């Protein structure tokens, strides 16, 4: 299914489709890389061999020595298409330059292919070692048989097996036929390399698609081209979940280039196929242009009465009451607050925001002969397949799903709404069609990061120790009906775990939660929950440290205490290693010279830490705030502990620096207003994103290797940024930021 066919260069086209055994089509995206690797290392030979060495679904070695590795997870900018194959290549003892990486289609042979929750590395790391080691073991055995020497006398390196005693060497290319004839050993029996012998892991390796990125070759979902391709747009109700009453389809059908215009009935799931109007034309621009004349009468439904202003007022009202659900109740927080030497009260809030990946959602689909072929920039191909089966009744085995590179993910592409829209349109018209969302569609029909409100009280004893913590969290939920009973289900990413720090650490701790019903789609946004909870809790901890007259670092170390390993509690309990967190916290403080530098007014340092996605991260931000209130982040120092090994140092550093800048962008600018059940903003002119001028001058990244399992880095470096910066703003100006984004707070000082 994933063959990067080697073709004659003269036949090379920009993007090709080629018929395969299964009757499918494959994008010719990887041909250049394969050709160039083949040219580089192929041995001239008059004999055409066809047998490959294919010890498992992820590794193929051709008789010409080209090593093809399958990347099974979607590449969304997190670097997984480079890093996981590096793990195989390390164990396989193959030269990286001889390797061609091919993106796997959706196929059960690869296991889970969803890329979310920073899970791709922790769930695959060990297995990928074994995949590579299995192949290496077989190549060594093939050489041992060829030479009739004990395998123990042989070593593999540089894509060859060496026999030191006799000075002989066989390239992998020469061993392909023999290795292919050997039985495949059980993966758990093969010998893995000792980490001290790693040559590739931990080095800086450039992204495998970089050559195509910098020359503008087709890579992304939106770049897919097919013979006879048509271009679609899909108009949904501006108010979430509205239904189509009527549309001026006759007028639309008569417009230049328009081939089809029809109403899609759709359903009520905000994550599924929503009602709308499809316009299909012979070019993207013809479809966009026709859409400007589309007039739809909508039945907007209950969302139309909802607004951010309304939600804010309601949250304020609820803050006076007890929460509808108690998430944690340790000791007696109310009594402890009454008895405390000092108390601090504060309300924090943050808005709904969009993922705003720069590649808008899009998907290409071709329905024919009762089956469908889909090309999707997706983080979650399994969900795409599932929704096509469930909504359109196309059986799983009649769905071919090609995973394209994604122009950013950030959690947005875990939800397959755009895939089912393209598939539904394709099923109706029976020719290949590419659905392209406009930026306005993308911003106004996202699966949004939920807004939220926290009403906090903290108590200190006479030594300035934190003894009481009370949070009433007002959040968002959808109404669901199960077995005829209505209930509220919290939005994705809108929930709070009772284990979230400082739950489990403060002896008197009351965490309450009250949901507000809404019809706004909600979904995971990079480091779900953590991306805002870290800001709220570490900002408030800073307020308490200040009230106690304590150093913010010492205050935090005291809260963490000497608990060692703290097991999770409750249904979604989160185990937490206090020593790992203290380690990164002390390290970042040392590297940032915490408490050793003096700053003039208008400049300062702030500190924060957060544990999420199995990663322990601490950050110190240094900022300058001008008298007029303009913020400049001068430097961010990051210490991370994500286990025993950094896979790709270049990619890891890029992820951390990107997380810092992404976190800063969300902190400074991002905000969606909601009125009449719809998003008010429409594009980047009224939804600004961080630009290069606001990026920090420096981001210093320190990776602390510890004897722990290797975990992911797509998300955990983001959450501590916002509180570190806001705490630095407080240190610089005395102004406390309690509302996001930052532009809501006047930072000017005199």
Partner 1 sequence: MSNYTVNINGTPRTVEVAPDTPLLWVLRDHLSLVGTKFGCGIGQCGACTVHLDGQPVRACLTPIAKVGLSQVTTIEGLHPRGEHPLQKVWQELDVPQCGYCQAGQIMTAAALLKKNPRPSDQDIDTALAGNLCRCGTYLRIRAGIHRAAEVAGKEAI
Pick between residue 207 and residue 515 the one whose CB is nearest to partner 1: 207
Pick between residue 168 and residue 439 the one whose CB is nearest to partner 1: 439
The rounded distance, in Å, linking the Cα atoms of 234 and 238 is: 12
Hey, is 24 helix, strand or coil? coil
Token pair, residue 509, equals 């701790």
The rounded distance, in Å, linking the Cα atoms of 236 and 256 is: 22
Three-state secondary structure of 119-147: CHHHHHHHHHHHHHHHHHHHHHHHHHHHH
CB-based burial, 132-165: b 16+ in 10 Å, e otherwise: bbbbbbbbbbbbbeebeeeeeebebeebbbbbee
- CB 282, min distance to partner 1, A: 9
DSSP code, position 89? H
- CB 279, min distance to partner 1, A: 15
Pick between residue 205 and residue 731 the one whose CB is nearest to partner 1: 205
- CB 691, min distance to partner 1, A: 5
- Residue 581 phi/psi, 5° resolution? -65, -40
Pick between residue 366 and residue 540 the one whose CB is nearest to partner 1: 366
- CB 695, min distance to partner 1, A: 4
DSSP code, position 719? T
361, β-bridge pairs: none
566, β-bridge pairs: 576
- Residue 250 phi/psi, 5° resolution? -60, -40
Pick between residue 63 and residue 523 the one whose CB is nearest to partner 1: 523
- CB 617, min distance to partner 1, A: 16
Token pair, residue 669, equals 């600018």
Alpha helices in 160-242 (DSSP H): 172-180, 210-215
Q: Do 551 and 633 form a contact (C-beta atoms < 8 A)?
A: no
CA distances 69 to 18, 114, 141, 442, 491, Å, are 21, 18, 21, 34, 38
CA distances 700 to 49, 586, 641, 697, 717, Å, are 51, 15, 15, 10, 12
Pick between residue 282 and residue 551 the one whose CB is nearest to partner 1: 282
3-state DSSP helix/strand/coil % of the chain, to nearest 5: 30, 25, 40
Q: Do 711 and 586 form a contact (C-beta atoms < 8 A)?
A: no
Pick between residue 3 and residue 650 the one whose CB is nearest to partner 1: 650
- CB 585, min distance to partner 1, A: 24
Pick between residue 243 and residue 355 the one whose CB is nearest to partner 1: 355
Pick between residue 388 and residue 633 the one whose CB is nearest to partner 1: 633
Longest dimension (CA), the chain: 90
- CB 230, min distance to partner 1, A: 11
- CB 210, min distance to partner 1, A: 5
Q: Report the relative pairing of strands 154-157 and 160-163 from DSSP bridges.
A: antiparallel
- CB 399, min distance to partner 1, A: 25
Hey, is 448 helix, strand or coil? strand
Q: Do 252 and 261 form a contact (C-beta atoms < 8 A)?
A: yes
Nearest to 710 by CA among 652, 616, 643: 643
Pick between residue 116 and residue 515 the one whose CB is nearest to partner 1: 116
DSSP code, position 78? S
Pick between residue 270 and residue 667 the one whose CB is nearest to partner 1: 667
The rounded distance, in Å, linking the Cα atoms of 502 and 264 is: 48
- CB 426, min distance to partner 1, A: 18
CA distances 651 to 63, 610, 714, Å, are 31, 21, 10
- CB 520, min distance to partner 1, A: 22
Hey, is 723 helix, strand or coil? helix
Pick between residue 155 and residue 680 the one whose CB is nearest to partner 1: 680
Pick between residue 230 and residue 728 the one whose CB is nearest to partner 1: 230
Pick between residue 509 and residue 661 the one whose CB is nearest to partner 1: 661
Token pair, residue 405, equals 């590179």
- CB 213, min distance to partner 1, A: 4
Exposed/middle/buried for residue 393 (C-beta within 10 Å: 0-12, 13-18, 19+): exposed
Pick between residue 519 and residue 659 the one whose CB is nearest to partner 1: 659
- CB 177, min distance to partner 1, A: 35
Q: Do 287 and 231 form a contact (C-beta atoms < 8 A)?
A: yes
The gap from C-alpha 344 to its chain's centroid, in whole angstroms, comes to: 36
Token pair, residue 572, equals 């979604």
């Amino acid at each position: 299914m994933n063959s990067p066919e080697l073709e004659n260069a003269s036949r090379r086209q920009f993007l090709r489709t080629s018929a395969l055994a299964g009757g499918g089509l494959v994008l010719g995206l990887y041909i250049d890389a394969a050709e160039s690797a083949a040219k580089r290392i192929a041995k001239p030979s008059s004999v055409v061999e066809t047998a490959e060495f294919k010890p498992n679904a992820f590794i193929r070695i051709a008789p010409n020595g080209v090593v093809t590795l399958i990347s099974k997870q979607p590449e969304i900018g997190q670097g997984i298409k480079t890093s996981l194959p590096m793990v195989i290549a390390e164990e396989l003892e193959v030269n990286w330059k001889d390797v061609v990486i091919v993106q796997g289609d959706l196929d059960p042979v690869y296991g889970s292919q969803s890329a979310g929750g920073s899970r791709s590395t922790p769930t695959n790391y060990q297995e990928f070692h074994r995949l590579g080691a299995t192949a290496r073991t077989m190549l060594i055995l093939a050489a041992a048989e060829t030479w009739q020497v004990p395998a123990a006398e042989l070593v593999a390196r540089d894509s060859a097996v060496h026999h030191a005693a006799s000075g002989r060497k066989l390239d992998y290319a020469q061993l392909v036929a023999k290795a292919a004839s050997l039985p495949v050993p059980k993966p758990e029996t093969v010998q893995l390399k000792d980490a001290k012998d790693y040559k590739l892991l931990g080095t800086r390796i450039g992204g495998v698609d970089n050559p195509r990125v910098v020359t503008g070759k087709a890579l992304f979902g939106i770049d897919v081209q097919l013979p006879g391709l048509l271009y679609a747009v899909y108009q949904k109700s501006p108010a979430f979940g509205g239904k189509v009453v009527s549309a001026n389809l006759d007028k639309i059908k008569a417009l230049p280039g328009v081939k089809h215009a029809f109403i899609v009935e759709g359903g009520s799931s905000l994550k599924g196929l929503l009602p709308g109007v499809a316009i299909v034309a012979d070019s993207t621009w013809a479809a966009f242009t026709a859409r400007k004349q589309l007039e739809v009468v909508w039945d907007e439904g209950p969302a139309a009465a909802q607004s951010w202003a309304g939600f804010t007022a309601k949250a304020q009202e609820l803050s006076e009451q007890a929460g509808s659900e108690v998430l944690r109740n340790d000791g007696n927080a109310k009594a402890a607050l009454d008895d405390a030497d000092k108390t601090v009260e504060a309300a924090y809030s943050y808005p709904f925001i969009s993922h705003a990946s720069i590649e808008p959602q899009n998907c290409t689909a071709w329905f024919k002969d009762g089956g469908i072929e889909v090309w999707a920039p997706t983080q979650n191909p399994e969900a795409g397949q599932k929704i096509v089966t469930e909504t359109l009744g196309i059986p799983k085995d009649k769905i071919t799903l090609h995973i394209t590179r994604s122009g950013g993910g950030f959690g947005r592409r875990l939800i397959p709404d755009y895939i089912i829209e393209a598939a539904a349109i394709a099923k109706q018209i029976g020719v290949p069609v590419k659905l392209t969302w406009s930026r306005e569609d993308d911003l106004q029909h996202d699966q949004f990061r939920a807004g939220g409100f926290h009403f906090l009280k903290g108590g200190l004893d006479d030594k300035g120790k934190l003894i009481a913590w009370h949070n009433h969290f007002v959040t968002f939920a959808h109404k669901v009906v199960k077995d005829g009973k209505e209930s509220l289900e919290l939005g994705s990413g809108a929930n709070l775990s009772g284990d979230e720090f400082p739950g489990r650490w403060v002896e008197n701790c009351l965490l309450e939660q009250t949901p507000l019903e809404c019809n706004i789609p909600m979904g995971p946004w990079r480091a779900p929950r953590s991306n805002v909870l870290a800001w709220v809790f570490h900002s408030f901890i800073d307020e308490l440290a200040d009230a106690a007259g304590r150093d913010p670092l010492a205050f935090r170390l005291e809260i963490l205490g000497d608990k060692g390993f703290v097991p999770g509690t409750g249904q979604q309990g989160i185990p937490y290693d206090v020593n790992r967190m203290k380690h990164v916290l002390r390290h970042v403080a040392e590297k940032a010279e915490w408490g050793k530098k003096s700053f003039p007014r208008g400049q300062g340092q702030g500190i924060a830490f957060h544990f999420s996605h199995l990663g322990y991260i601490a950050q110190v931000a240094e900022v300058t705030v001008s008298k007029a209130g303009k913020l400049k982040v001068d430097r961010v120092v990051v210490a991370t502990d994500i286990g025993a090994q950094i896979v790709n140092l270049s990619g890891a550093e890029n992820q951390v620096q990107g997380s810092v800048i992404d976190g800063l962008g969300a902190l400074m600018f991002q905000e969606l207003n909601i009125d009449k059940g719809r998003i008010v903003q429409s594009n980047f002119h009224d939804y600004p994103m961080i630009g290069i001028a606001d990026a920090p001058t420096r981001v210093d990244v320190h990776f602390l290797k510890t004897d722990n399992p290797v975990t992911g880095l797509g998300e955990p470096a983001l959450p501590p940024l916002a509180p570190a910066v806001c705490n630095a703003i407080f240190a610089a100006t005395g102004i406390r930021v309690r509302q996001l984004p930052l532009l809501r707070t006047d930072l000017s000082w005199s």
